[in-house]
Amino acid sequence: MTTSLPSETLEQQLVQEDALLRGHFRLSSGLHSDTYVQCARFLRRPDLAGPAAAELAAQIRAAGLQPDTVVGPAMGGVVIGYELARQLGVPGIFTERDADGQMTLRRGFTIEPGERIIIAEDVVTTGKSTNEVARLLTSMGAEILAVVSLIDRTSGKAELSFPNFALLPVTAATYAPDDCPLCRAGIPVVKPGSRPDKAFS
DSSP string, 69-101: EEE--TTHHHHHHHHHHHHHTS-EE--EE-TTS
Grade residue 191 by pLDDT with cuts at 50, 70 and 90. Answer: confident
pLDDT of residue 197: 46
Which strand (E) or helix (H) includes residue 56? Answer: helix 46-62
128 belongs to an annotated ligand binding site = yes
pLDDT tens-digit readout, 138-158: 999 999 999 999 998 876 677
Peptide bond into 75 cis (omega under 30): yes
Q: From CA 11, how far away is CA 20, in angstroms rounded? A: 8
pLDDT tens-digit readout, 62-76: 999 999 999 999 988
138 belongs to an annotated ligand binding site = no
| Nearest residue to 172 via CA among 111, 126, 132, 138 | 126
Q: From CA 89, how far away is CA 96, in angstroms rounded? A: 23
Whether 170 shows a pLDDT value over 50: the answer reads yes
Q: From CA 57, how far away is CA 41, in angstroms rounded? A: 21
124 belongs to an annotated ligand binding site = yes
153 belongs to an annotated ligand binding site = yes
Whether 131 shows a pLDDT value over 60: the answer reads yes
What pTM does this model have? 0.84
pLDDT of residue 194: 54
Grade residue 2 by pLDDT with cuts at 50, 70 and 90. Answer: very low
Task: Give the E-state strand segments of the chain in sequence order.
Answer: 20-26, 32-37, 69-71, 92-93, 96-97, 103-104, 116-124, 143-152, 164-169, 174-175
If DSSP codes are grouped into helix, strand and coil, which group holds residue 102? coil
Whether 4 shows a pLDDT value over 70: the answer reads no
Average pLDDT value over all residues in the chain: 88
pLDDT of residue 5: 66
45 belongs to an annotated ligand binding site = no
How many CB atoms lie under 10 A from the CB of residue 12? 12
Q: From CA 148, how far away is CA 67, in angstroms rounded? A: 12
pLDDT of residue 161: 84
129 belongs to an annotated ligand binding site = yes
37 belongs to an annotated ligand binding site = no
pLDDT tens-digit readout, 11-56: 899 999 999 999 999 987 788 999 988 899 999 999 999 999 999 9
